[in-house]
Amino acid sequence: MNLPPRTVERLSKYRRLLEKLQESEESYIFSHQLARMLNLTPVQVRRDLMLIGFSGNHRKGYNINELLALIGKTIDREEGHNIAIVGMGNLGRAVTRFIRKNKNRMNIVASFDIDQSKINDSLEGVPCYNISKIDYFIKKLEIDIIVLTASSESAQKVVDEVIASGVKGILNFTSAHLVVPKSIYLKDYNIITSLEEIGFFIKNP
């Protein structure tokens, strides 16, 4: 199924919210309630759910359990994804903890660093290997996504190597502008850019 990237992003947000509602034993929710909780419009919510073939009950709204099941079927891979963290400094460790404590199908199977004090140790419950062996472990562990938290200076070199090793997706936490083939899905996360965006809209309400 082909979906716009922003729709996939919102589906993930719907899931996080619906899981919390499920824990509180809510059974149904209306589009306007979802929209209000996520600062969206009801039209946007209904459009997203129509794209995955889901419709609600006019009197009750959307069945939460059924919607969660369909979102999972739509955006997840049944066996999950094997991912690796590249760079196990403070940010890398924080990202690892965050991913591991949240319910998802992302399996962190390895991490990589150049710091000898971290290599061959378990960091945040994840084995850490010498980055010089990244090609070997990507192939051995069938890693298809990396989270890049290494230095910006080494980022492009690392990315070139992991792509050659078979990685298909990259989440980039560095400030480096990465060049990748069209076949690779790259997502940049730059906290300064996000803060500047917030600053602009606060300045120009």
Task: Output the pLDDT for position 73.
Answer: 93
Q: Which of 43, 73, 103 is the last residue of a domain?
A: 73
Examine the domain organization and report whether 161 and 187 are in the same domain. yes
CB-CB contact of 145 with 81 (8 Å) = yes
- Tens digit of each residue's pLDDT (9 = 90 or more) over 25-72: 889 999 999 999 999 999 999 999 999 999 888 889 999 999 999 999
Q: Do 180 and 121 belong to one domain?
A: yes
Q: Report pTM.
A: 0.84
Residue 143 placed within a domain: yes
Residues 147 and 57 in one domain: no
pLDDT tens figures, 87-110: 999 999 999 999 998 878 899 999
**Residue 137 lies in domain:** 81-192
| Confidence grade of residue 197 (pLDDT, cut at 50, 70, 90) | confident
- 């919607």: which residue's tokens? 67
The total of structural domains in the chain comes to: 2
| Residues 88, 180 within the same domain | yes
43: left (phi over 0), alpha (psi -120 to 50) or beta: alpha
